[in-house]
Amino acid sequence: MANQWQDEESSGQSQNQPQSWSRGSQGSHGEMIWQNRLQKQMREAEQNLPDGALTAGYKADPREIVALLTRAQASEWASFLQYWHHFFMASDIHSAELKETFKEHAEDEYEHARLFGERIQQLGGVPCDKPEDIARLTPTPTEYNHDLRSMMEADLVGERSTIDFYDEIIRTCGFDDNVTRKIFEHVIEEEAHHADDFATLLFAYDGSTGKQIESIHEEIENIARATGQQPKLTRRAS
């Protein structure tokens, strides 16, 4: 392990030469570690200044990463619109409590789209903001649905699909693009919370047995049928 502390570009020292080290010592080797490497990085940083954050040390393929970011941003815009539509159109005995969930998730998706757009620009691309491009590039098409339950199911499917998509992007970035990877790691954590929110609302489990039981929405439908009233699953046309 001692050789890892030794600059491979340093002259006058053998890789196998033993190093003297004691706690608190500040010899010249410790002060000047990576000196040649850092000087090389400085020289490279002085080149291609218009590239900004896209430095010589960037190891990923920027075209591939920008393309993935663009599709991810399109997905976030589509999800943003879907959540806002559900916020406006939700009409159910439980819609009041769920409207706030739809609104909060829409605000999260807007923030994700902003993060992706900023990173696209840093890598020399152009953010996906045109409606026709969003519709063409999003891997998760907008689903408005009809009743409150089908709205939540569509949102849950979209979140689960997005989690798998972002997982693949994180693996693609690896350590070749640390900034993009960390952005997606942050976003995917929030998408997981969204998915869990809807799964918890849609599906209930018995606290003593752990078995799945009917949700409150299914109970209401069963009560309506038992009293001879057909539950309405679509909004009456104006």
- Alpha-carbon gap, residue 70 to 137, rounded angstroms: 8
Provide CB contacts within 8 A for 180, sequence distance 6+. 60, 65, 69, 119, 123, 169, 173
Helix (H) or strand (E) holding 88: helix 62-89
On whether the CB atoms of residues 72 and 116 are closer than 8 A, the answer is yes
On whether the CB atoms of residues 6 and 13 are closer than 8 A, the answer is yes
Provide CB contacts within 8 A for 225, sequence distance 6+. 231
In this structure, the number of other CB atoms found within 10 A of the CB of residue 143 comes to 16
**Buried/exposed code over 60-99 (b: 16+ C-beta within 10 A; e: otherwise):** bebeebbebbbbbbbbbbbbbbbbbbbbebbebeeeeebb
Structure tokens at 181: 């990877």
User: Rounded mean pLDDT of 97-117?
Assistant: 95
Give the homologous superfamily in CATH for domain 73-205: Ferritin, core subunit, four-helix bundle (1.20.1260.10)
On whether the CB atoms of residues 78 and 134 are closer than 8 A, the answer is yes
User: Rounded mean pLDDT of 84-103?
Assistant: 86
pTM > 0.85: no
DSSP letters, 199-234, are HHHH-EE-TTT--EE--HHHHHHHHHHHTT-PPP-S
- Domain spans in the chain, listed from the N-terminal domain onward: 73-205
DSSP for residue 19: -
**Residue 210 pLDDT:** 67
Please write the tens of the pLDDT for every residue from 33-91.
Answer: 999 999 999 999 999 998 888 898 899 999 999 999 999 999 999 999 999 999 998 88
Please write the tens of the pLDDT for every residue from 7-20.
Answer: 444 444 444 555 55
Measured at the alpha carbon of residue 191, what is the angle toward residues 188 and 194, in degrees to the nearest 5?
A: 160
Q: Give the pLDDT band of residue 5 (cuts 50, 70, 90).
A: very low
Structure tokens at 171: 């693996």
Measured at the alpha carbon of residue 102, what is the angle toward residues 234 and 80, in degrees to the nearest 5?
A: 100
Phi, psi for 205 (deg, rounded to 5) = -130, 140
